[in-house]
Amino acid sequence: MSALVSVADGLWSIHHHEFGIGVMRIGTRTNVLRLADGTLALHSPGPLDEAHLAAIRALGTVSTVVVPNLMHTSFTARAVAAFPDARVVAVAGAAAKVPGLKVDEVFGETLPGCLRGVAEGMPLAGCPALGEQVLFLPASRTVVSVDLAFNLHGATGITRALMWLNAANDRFCVTRLARASFIKDAAAARASVARMADAWDIERIVVSHGDVVSVGGRASLRAAWADV
């Protein structure tokens, strides 16, 4: 079973290795952030079971559920039900993707108040189907993202074959599928990623699909988007 592990000070992650889309096992990731008031934010919740929920509750009170991407909403309702007193902070359009979801604050020009003091944020431009808001935790120099890139290592079987077609095996990259399906304005997307790399002193990068980039995050981000 995927376990809750520490990624950096004030940041934990559950990598749901077994998660797949069709025949592909590409995993997904739930992140847990410690907020300035000591409570927790559940970021991009995945398929959390009772053991996962117990491990999260052992860290403290979940005050916030963050929906940072329009493609990763399948498990939002379950997370909100598990933490009914939590506020919901979401990207624009998330409420339409999750029937009955009450959004308390939408990502806009400024970061939602509950995230301030811990995180900075920028939208990934040029990718309207993703609508992704990328976060940066200055204290640990960590980017917390969803579909900013893939970082799949050690895939096997049909997943490896399909990721070979996607030019996404054993590397931190923007996949062929993302380029074809999600990036509608490549120049705008590249410019927004360049702003992130220029503004943030990035060491780590957390992505939903694949391993955490533990070192050299700024250079890795620039390289992954250089030819998009």
Give me the architecture of the 4-225 domain, per CATH.
4-Layer Sandwich (3.60)
Question: Does an H or E element contain 171, and which?
Answer: strand 171-173
Low-confidence ranges of the chain (pLDDT < 50): none
Angle at 203 between CA 214 and CA 132, to 5 degrees: 90
Phi, psi of 194 (to 5 degrees): -60, -40
> What is the four-CA torsion angle of 28, 195, 67, 108, rounded to 10 degrees?
-170
The alpha carbon of residue 72 and the mean position of all alpha carbons in its chain are separated, in whole angstroms, by: 9
pLDDT at 2: 84
Tell me the whole-structure pTM to 2 decimals: 0.95
| Residue that is written with structure tokens 């391993």 in the block | 211
pLDDT at 19: 65
What is the C-alpha to C-alpha distance for residues 214 and 150, in angstroms, rounded to an integer? 14
Query: pLDDT by residue (tens digit) across 151-170?
Result: 988 887 888 888 788 788 89
Listed in sequence order, the residues at least 6 apart from 5 whose beta carbon sits closer than 8 Å to its beta carbon are 12, 13, 14, 15
Listed in sequence order, the residues at least 6 apart from 18 whose beta carbon sits closer than 8 Å to its beta carbon are 2, 25, 27
pLDDT at 21: 66
Tokens of 137: 């935790």
Q: How many CB atoms lie under 10 A from the CB of residue 108?
A: 11
pLDDT at 133: 98
pLDDT at 148: 97
Listed in sequence order, the residues at least 6 apart from 129 whose beta carbon sits closer than 8 Å to its beta carbon are 70, 71, 181, 182, 184
Of 55, 33, 57, the closest CA to residue 44 belongs to: 33
Q: Domain segments of the chain: what residues?
A: 4-225
Query: pLDDT by residue (tens digit) across 84-117?
Result: 999 999 999 999 999 999 999 999 988 999 999 9
pLDDT at 16: 92
